[in-house]
Amino acid sequence: MHQDSIIREPLLLGKKTYHQVTEDVARPVEGKANKYWWALFFLAVIAWMWGIGCMAYTVGRGIGVWNLNRTIDWGWDITNFVWWIGIGHAGTLISAVLCLFRQRWRLTINRSAEAMTIFAVMCAAIFPVLHMGRPWLAYFVFPLPNQFGSLWVNFNSPLLWDVFAISTYFTVSIVFWYLGLIPDFAMIRDRAKTKSRKILYTLFSFGWSGRAKDWQRFEEVTLVLAGICTPLVFSVHSIVSSDFATGVVRGWHSTVYPPYFVAGAIFSGMAMVLTLVIVGRKVLNLEEYITYQHIETMNKVMLTMGSVVGIAYFAEFFQAWYSGDPNESFIYLSWNNAKGVYGWAFWALIICNNILPQILWIKSMRRNLYITFILSIVINIGMWFERFDIIVTDLYRDYLPSDWTYYSPSWVEVGIFVGTIGMFFTFFLLFARWFPFIAQAELKTTLKATGDLFHNPPRHPKSSDFKETASVEAVH
Amino acid sequence: MSKVFVHALYDDDDKLKNGARKVRALGYGIKEVFSPFPVHGIDKIMGLNRTRISICCFIYGVTGFSLAFTMIWYMLIHDWPVDIGGKPNYTWYHNIPSWIPVLFESTVFCAAHGMAITFLLRSWLFPGVSPKNPDPRTTDDHFLMITTAYTEQEAADQVNAAKATGAVEVKQVASNDSHH
């Protein structure tokens, strides 16, 4: 079995035993929701309903109710689509990529991060479907036989790649998430006191009984799925970026887009994970599981990804200036845009994504929950602006000056976005109440390596401890 | 004496492994182990074969790739070639770079779902299946090892081995028990 170095802080505080982990994970599922949960749930449902109203209005009247125009034909809809897809990426990063790297700090946050992925992709999918204008014909995107029309779909188009990438990403994420949930549902089933809970979780747990052969297969499936999901997650946002990069619009037609989009996606996704777990750990009493160390590690990932994104911004800005091309000098990251009518959006991006995250270089800030929480929201706003800037401020100065125009969203577009946020939080709150928030079965496998109880000698040894050990060894 | 099952319940994974090793050393097989989490190494001690599910995954992946390739070739090259933006679809080798995303996603789709379905089928996990762990504590913090004894001597051997390795509960269950 793997043993952690004794100078490492334990990942699980509070002397947890196997049974205590069970108790702590089952408590939120078995207990009653408090008034904060109900208040948040109520707000989220209202926002969702408002969004559904706006979607119905859009479908009923057509997308003329949005403020898109002939020059700026992608606006909030595609901005929100890319934003939500990007948020989803951190969940897969945590559960798949960090699984391959054997990062055990992921084990207390991977379940909620994967849930976040699934709900974010659901929110994302709404936007392109609505943007079709006739969502009841959405099945046209699938390669269906000829009686539906005279042509097949075009496999050379990035928009079709998106259909395949996102449907694969969504379904595979659900499978990965649910397979991990099965043993945890079985745990709740086996300790259920009420009949309804017993029936419900027997159904959810698929009759899992934890036999050695099942576990052997389970571990293999988890590992292979992690290996498959790792290239998948990078492919998905690369393909989303191809929607832009293969287009002949200046600012979009750029080879840096795929890696730059993936880094941005992980940046914003980490921020959303932090927003969710900082609240979640408090509300569900999981402070000993999602510790300051977890928060700090995620902040480090965020800082790294933020720096990658920052360098990409700089490269784009530099090239726009250095090329001397009059078209390039009006792209979203250019001096002309910074001082133009969309200058506010340009500076919102730079301040939220590049300037404010620099405080994460300071350790005390990385371990400060309030600062981290506020910063995580700031970064999500910044990443929203990145997509807005890419789309709108690359379109608004068209090749014909007579086409130059301005765009701000209508109340319907804002309403749909608010609705998806409501839908996301509705699902996430339901998840936190009904599903085990932490992957307890997997967590228990590392309890003896990283738990507080099993650390021997106790954690935080002083430097004198090592001198003593060294001298003892010397005597022997 | 008729066949009995010896149920040895442990509260620690390392003790369970010691118990399993001891029973195996005495020359007995282990019928089943129920545990709340994967106990690494127990499959080797029990003598279980390595799972072949990752080989299945590879085969599903190759299938997905082939299906997608055939589909795209049929639709774009064979059935209805279209000239899009001066880039006609008459030959597959000219078009293949732009097929890579869909080929890759289809490979992943079939590999992941095929493997998951195989896992659920082989381990017989479905909504509505009733669980087979005899003791509900084995999804919490206990580990159950079941061995088979055909004579009283064998049963005594196995009980002693379990007790000697720190089993917290040992009992003998008649073989006509409902859960078998």
A336 in B contact zone (CB under 8 Å): no
Map out the domains of chain B as residue ranges: 4-49+133-174, 53-122
Tell me, what's the pLDDT at A465?
43
The parent domain of residue A53 ranges over 18-144+155-451
Query: What residues in chain B have per-residue pLDDT under 50?
Result: 178-180
pTM for the model: 0.91
Tell me, what's the pLDDT at A3?
61
Best CA proximity match to A111, nearest among A48, A32, A185: A185
DSSP count for chain A of H helices, then E strands: 18, 0
Cβ-based contacts of B137 with chain A (< 8 Å): 190
Q: What is the C-alpha to C-alpha distance for residues A289 and A447, in angstroms, rounded to an integer?
A: 11
CB contact under 8 A, B137 and A190: yes
Q: Give per-residue pLDDT as tens, A166-212.
A: 999 999 999 999 999 999 999 999 999 999 999 999 999 999 999 99
Best CA proximity match to A408, nearest among A109, A27, A76: A76
Tell me, what's the pLDDT at A105?
87
The domain total for chain A is 1
Best CA proximity match to A302, nearest among A261, A257, A347, A361: A361
Would you call A113 exposed, middle or buried from its count of C-beta atoms within 10 A (0-12, 13-18, 19+)? Answer: buried
CB contact under 8 A, A213 and B123: yes
Cβ-based contacts of A189 with chain B (< 8 Å): 131, 139
Q: What is the C-alpha to C-alpha distance for residues A141 and A154, in angstroms, rounded to an integer?
A: 9
Query: What residues in chain A have per-residue pLDDT under 50?
Result: 1, 457, 459, 461-476
CATH of the domain at A252: 1.20.1630.10
- Range 55-114 of B in CB contact (< 8 A) with A: 57, 71-72, 75-76, 79-80, 82, 84, 87, 89, 95, 98-99, 101-102, 104-106, 108-109, 111-113
Question: A467 in a domain, yes or no?
Answer: no
Question: A469 in a domain, yes or no?
Answer: no
Cβ-based contacts of B108 with chain A (< 8 Å): 168, 172, 228, 231-232
Best CA proximity match to B22, nearest among B168, B162, B179: B162
Q: Give per-residue pLDDT as tens, B92-110.
A: 888 888 899 999 999 999 9
CB contact under 8 A, A175 and B113: yes
Nearest to B104 among A143, A160, A235 (CB): A235
Residue range B4-49+133-174 forms a domain whose CATH class is alpha beta
